[in-house]
Amino acid sequence: MNIKAIVYTSNTGYTQKYAKMLGDKTGLPVYPLTDCPLPKGSEIIYLGWLMAGSIVDYKKASKLYDIKILIGSCLGTTGSMDASVRKSHKLPDDMPVFTLWGGFDINKLHGIYKLMMKIVGKAIKNKINKQETKTAEDLKIIDMLDHGGSAVDEKYLEPILKLLQ
């Protein structure tokens, strides 16, 4: 791999936090997809937030750049959406994909995203409430949906840093 930069799309800032943390740890430059100076075809790590099961602007980023590692920040525990993201973007088995537990703040959302999140939030809660037992993480997700909060943590970047060694 000859990764040139970390490129991200973030709506409310949690994905940007992960992108910056990864930049600090790797020394790679960090750019938002909307303002990225890299030439077409450059190798990158792409991070986006999860919207309705897909990583926002993955397609756009993959047309411009050669994504070597794909990362999504989500409202689920770290790793819990790796398989569904792989499926929804039809990614090959050897493509490194990581979903990281992000954050949520309804006050940072507007318009259609706010409306959509009310629906997605209900669906996430219903799924958890149907489970016979709830883990501490499940309870934290419910609390985040009700009151907002962040689960962004640099420890979740460890497997990605290992891959880059």
Ligand X SMILES: Cc1cc2nc3c(=O)[nH]c(=O)nc-3n(C[C@H](O)[C@H](O)[C@H](O)COP(=O)(O)O)c2cc1C
Among 33, 64, 103, 160, binds ligand X (CB under 6 A): 103
109 binds ligand X (CB under 6 A): yes
Stretch that binds ligand X, among 9-17, 21-29, 86-94, 125-133 (CB under 6 A): 9-17
Sign of CA dihedral 135, 141, 145, 146: positive
157 binds ligand X (CB under 6 A): no
Question: What helix, strand, coil percent values describe the chain, rounded to 5?
Answer: 45, 20, 30
Number of C-beta neighbours around residue 128 at 10 A: 17
d(CA 142, CA 151): 12
The residue count for binding ligand X (CB under 6 A) is 25
Least separation, in Å, of the C-beta of 24 and ligand X?
Answer: 17
Check: CB of residue 105 under 8 Å from CB of residue 12: yes
52 binds ligand X (CB under 6 A): yes
65 binds ligand X (CB under 6 A): no
Q: Which residues bind ligand X (CB under 6 A)?
A: 10-16, 49-53, 73-76, 81, 102-104, 109, 113, 116-117, 120
